[in-house]
Amino acid sequence: MTKALRELTLGQLLDETVAKYPDNDAVIYVDRDFRLTWRQFGALVDDLAKGLMAMGIEPGEKVAIWATNVPYWVALMFATAKVGAVLLTVNTNYKQNEIKYLLSHSETENLFIIDGYRDTDYVQTIYELVPELKTEQRGFMKSETFPHLKRVLFLGPEKHRGMYSIPEILSLASMVDDEEYKARQDSLSPHDVVNMQYTSGTTGFPKGVMLSHFSILNNGFWIGENQKFTHKDRVCLPVPLFHCFGCVLGVMACVNHGAAMVLLETFDPLQVMASVDAEKCTALYGVPTMFIAVLEHKLFERFDYSSLRTGIMAGSPCPVEVMKKVMDRMNMKDITICYGLTETAPVMTQTRVDDSIRDRTETVGKSMPEIEVCIMDPETRQVVPPNTVGEICCRGYNLMKGYYNNAKATTEAIDAHGWLHSGDLGVMDERGYVTITGRLKDMIIRGGENIYPREIEEFLYSMPGIRDVQVAGVPSRKYGEEVGAFIILKEGANLAPEDVRDFCRGKIAWHKIPKYVAFVQEYPMTASGKIQKYKLRELAAELFPEAMQ
């Protein structure tokens, strides 16, 4: 029997966890010796929430956060939830044009930022977009470009002209009494929108996905349950919090079970290994490229992974060989794979720790409790028989409330019967286990023959010298598309395109053998670690113009 879905807000869930495990670790950063117990974390959230209320932030207002995984990130996630605001998570890789689009489209009233990330100075970018910050009185700013924007705030102690700092916001907490604060929380519904994420926009403009307390809270519960989390687990999270992988698979799974969150501000393989070792982490999350970076690190053998048990590999297809190495060399015998979309809050299928090795390496598991998953014919929209390729569709409590200010796109995504169409291709066996075969748009059609990139990638992973491989269509005048393989070699390996083709001959169908092979240093990626296949196709057209002749 499955446990019923819980009708709680994020604030109610946090209060419950604080009451159960007050003295257990909640948030830890190894690199700066920062740690809070659940009691301390709960108190910080309440002070921050009261500060936001004192500033005049109302229920339904958007609070955008443009920041790496800094210590106040998770506190802000729950503080905004407790006052009924909508946390709008912003991709850390955004540049000026993208942040401008997001602030305009989302009609954001409040924006939290940090100094910057990589080669982008966030403070300077915002001053250029909102010059009024430097001249108008704080709290009474009116931006010509962004008429909805009321406040810009800094997610740290530093002071910047026109912005409120975290200490200033916390100092305002005393202006809001407990009755007023409680009344605000009591007015909220678990079905209110609490989180908004702009999809990576691998096609067209990004769309704002609206998610409720109910959807991410329950999804997080089952994600943790499927890894057998308890309050004794310590989960290393090097994945970005602005993405569902961080804030739902990570934070919501931990808070639901009272597990400690061992956070990294940004991904660094050395920091991951040091954090796991120092804090005796029992779980580790990452996209495949993160696990590869750890496994291939020259200092890998110096750290202790014996405390690890489980975790999640997700975000892009998980190579079987990498999964096996993680189970074997990192002691993650119970690692799981999750599959889903931001629009499904996000996980619709997950492998279970007691699944067979085959199911846990070659499938993305079966549907989560209380969620329906089916495979439909993309043309007829009829459910197809088991073991037939079709579009993966999902229905349940976890679906988004819609795309912000985009009813047309919402209707295109969710059909009249409540099924969300993923745009991903897969097969489901008789037991309900799903295997991803590609994206509707990723599928290579060579002379009328459907070719699934995933199948060729899995095969090429077994070739000595190959560290990572992505297969995409190369535009071809003769066949429409040809198979192209983009390969990252292991250190010291030396391969020629012909070696790759020789390895394939006689082992996979001739039409699947890559006609074009390119050796690359890295792949075009979204900030959340998803490989952008459409950019590989664009690169293929540049690298192999002869295909069109």
List phi, psi (to 5°) of 86: -110, 115
Taking domain 447-548, whether its CATH number is 3.30.300.30 is answered by yes
Q: What rounded mean pLDDT belongs to the chain? A: 94
Measured CA to CA, the distance from residue 319 to residue 529 in angstroms comes to 15
pTM, two decimal places: 0.89
Summarised one tens digit per residue, pLDDT across range 438-489 is 777 778 888 877 788 888 999 999 999 999 999 999 988 888 889 999 999 9
Summarised one tens digit per residue, pLDDT across range 295-312 is 999 999 999 999 999 999
> Residue 11: in which H helix or E strand, if any?
helix 10-20
Which residue ranges make up each domain of the chain? 33-198, 447-548
Average pLDDT score over residue span 41-51: 98
Query: At 201, is the pLDDT very low, low, confident or very high (cuts 50, 70, 90)?
Result: very low
What are residue 153's DSSP bridge partners? 112, 164
Query: At 202, is the pLDDT very low, low, confident or very high (cuts 50, 70, 90)?
Result: very low
Average pLDDT score over residue span 414-438: 95
Dig out the tokens for 283 from the structure.
């779980």
Burial class (CB in 10 A: 0-12, 13-18, 19+), 463: middle
Model confidence at 40: pLDDT above 50: yes
Summarised one tens digit per residue, pLDDT across range 183-195 is 999 999 999 999 9
Q: What is the pLDDT of residue 1?
A: 39
Q: What is the pLDDT of residue 204?
A: 57
Average pLDDT score over residue span 212-241: 98
Longest Cα–Cα distance in the chain: 75
Summarised one tens digit per residue, pLDDT across range 467-480 is 999 999 998 888 88
Interior angle at CA 36, CA 227 and CA 123, nearest 5:
100
Model confidence at 379: pLDDT above 50: yes
Q: How many of the other CB atoms lie within 10 Å of CB of 156?
A: 18
Fold of 33-198: Rossmann fold (3.40.50)
Residue 365 backbone class (left: φ over 0; alpha: ψ -120 to 50; beta: rest): left
Average pLDDT score over residue span 359-364: 92
Q: What percent of the chain shows pLDDT beyond 70?
A: 99
Query: At 2, is the pLDDT very low, low, confident or very high (cuts 50, 70, 90)?
Result: low
Q: Nearest-CA neighbor of 504 among 517, 491, 489?
A: 517
User: Worst-scoring range by mean pLDDT, 298-302, 496-500, 528-532?
Assistant: 528-532
Where would I find the H helices in 188-282? 213-225, 244, 253-257, 269-279
* pLDDT top residue among 402 and 448: 402
Q: What is the pLDDT of residue 162?
A: 96
Pairing of strands 234-237, 283-286: parallel
Summarised one tens digit per residue, pLDDT across range 103-161 is 999 999 999 999 999 889 999 999 999 999 999 989 889 999 999 999 999 999 999 99
Model confidence at 85: pLDDT above 60: yes
